[in-house]
Amino acid sequence: MLVEDIVDSILVIITMLVEDIVDSILVIITMLVEDIVDSILVIITMLVEDIVDSILVIITMLVEDIVDSILVIITMLVEDIVDSILVIITMLVEDIVDSILVIITMLVEDIVDSILVIITMLVEDIVDSILVIITMLVEDIVDSILVIITMLVEDIVDSILVIITMLVEDIVDSILVIISMLVEDIMDSILVIITRLVEDIVDSILVIITMLVEDIVDSILVIITMLVEDIVDSILVIITMLVEDIVDSILVIITMLVEDIVDSILVIITMLVEDIVDSILVIITMLVEDIVDSILVIITMLVEDIVDSILVIITRLVEDIVDSILVIIIRLV
């Protein structure tokens, strides 16, 4: 009966010990999971805010650069067109005046005396016809130039708007895809790490507790078997004190171990997320800078080609018009 009582008391003590240990482990695991979830939520919130701020800043800078470059290019284009038109008109007037003076001088010198009346009538008709032709020609040239400039400006504006729209859509889509993939990968890796850590911690704690309980039970049974006949009372007192001390020490050890593990896990997760955030921001900044540089280079080359082609077309058109006017004047004279 004595042995049964001792065994029962030991079992009760062991049961209480195990229950206390399990309760403390559950409380610690609950606190660990809550801390990890809170830290992950805070880190994700900060990451999203930083990414949104950087994207807004980059888009603002991109739009400002594009608007400035377009204004500069349009200003240069208008200045070049105005200068070329003025130069061409000046040359045209000089050529027409020189040719008319030469023709009139030769005509007057040859037939001043003989055909004054004919020259008078002829000059009147020629002047009227020249004025009519010049008036019609100038109207046609002005109308054609205005139509060409209008069409060119509309085409340039449409192409620029289409290119800007496509570029913004592609940039936004790529950024969203990259962010989605990064967030999914980060969440998957964090969940896998947390799952493995929790499994390893639980397995190790269970193994340690099992081994500890087995060793304690074996040693207590051996001691009780040897000493039960002589010092039952003293053994019971000693066992009680020993179990209490062991429970206290085990609880203290487990508490310290779990706190250290939790602290280390939180530090590792914080450092990992900070490194990931920094790398993502650096990559996004470099990507946007490269895209902005390439867009500006393309726009500059495109506008230069358009300006060159417009100037070539205007020059050829004016040359043809001048040649045709000179031919008409010579034939009329």
**Residue 114 has what pLDDT?**
67
3-state secondary structure 117-145: HHHHHHHHHHHHHHHHHHHHHHHHHHHHH
Residue 147 pLDDT level (bands cut at 50, 70, 90): confident
pLDDT for 235: 63
168 confidence band (pLDDT: 50, 70, 90) = low
pLDDT tens-digit readout, 285-310: 788 787 777 778 887 788 787 777 77
pLDDT value at 193 more than 70: no
AA letter at 229: E
- From the list 78, 283, 93, the residue with the least C-alpha distance to 174 is 283
> Given this model, what pLDDT does residue 157 score?
66
Matching residue, tokens 């990064």: 182
The pair of three-digit structure tokens given for residue 329, joined into one six-digit string: 């004047």
Residue 27 has pLDDT above 70, yes or no: yes
**What size, in residues, is the chain?**
333
Query: What pLDDT sits at residue 231?
Result: 64
| pLDDT value at residue 111 | 62
Average pLDDT over residues 47-64: 78
Measuring CA to CA, which residue among 44, 269, 299, 84 is closest to residue 179?
A: 44
Domain boundary assignment for the chain: 2-332
The tens digit of pLDDT for each residue in 251-270 reads 777 778 777 777 777 887 77
Per-residue pLDDT, 153 = 65
- pTM value is 0.31
Among 82-86, 178-182, 279-283, 288-292, the least confident range: 178-182
Residue with the two structure tokens 């660990």: 32
Query: How is residue 100 written in tokens?
Result: 């008319």
95-99, long-range: CB < 8 A, 24+ apart:
95/322, 95/326, 96/322, 96/325, 96/326, 96/329, 99/326, 99/329, 99/330
- Scored b (16 or more CB within 10 A) or e, 260-280 reads ebbeebbeebeeebeebbeeb
Q: Is the pLDDT of residue 271 over 80?
A: yes
Q: What is the 3 state secondary structure string of the chain?
A: CHHHHHHHHHHHHHHHHHHHHHHHHHHHHHHHHHHHHHHHHHHHHHHHHHHHHHHHHHHHHHHHHHHHHHHHHHHHHHHHHHHHHHHHHHHHHHHHHHHHHHHHHHHHHHHCCCCHHHHHHHHHHHHHHHHHHHHHHHHHHHHHHHHHHHHHHHHHHHHHHHHHHHHHHHHHHHHHHHHHHHHHHHHHHHHHHHHHHHHHHHHHHHHHHHHHHHHHHHHHHHHHHHHCCCCHHHHHHHHHHHHHHHHHHHHHHHHHHHHHHHHHHHHHHHHHHHHHHHHHHHHHHHHHHHHHHHHHHHHHHHHHHHHHHHHHHHHHHHHHHHHHHHHHHHHHC
Q: Is 80 exceeded by the pLDDT of residue 186?
A: no
Write down the mean pLDDT value for the chain. 73
Structure tokens, 93: 């007037």
Q: Is the pLDDT of residue 185 over 80?
A: no
Look at residues 265, 276, 270 and name the one whose alpha carbon lies nearest to residue 42: 270
The pLDDT score that the predictor gives to residue 50 is 78
The residue among 288, 307, 306 whose CA lies nearest residue 66 is: 288
> Looking at the predicted structure, is the pLDDT value of residue 138 above 70?
no
Residues 294 and 163 sit within 8 Å (Cβ to Cβ):
no
Mean pLDDT of all residues in 322-331: 75
In this prediction, residue 173 carries a pLDDT of 72
Q: How confident is the model at residue 234 (pLDDT cuts 50, 70, 90)?
A: low
- Between the ranges 168-177, 186-195, 222-231, 320-329, where is the mean pLDDT highest? 320-329
Asked whether residue 94 carries a pLDDT value surpassing 70, the answer given is yes
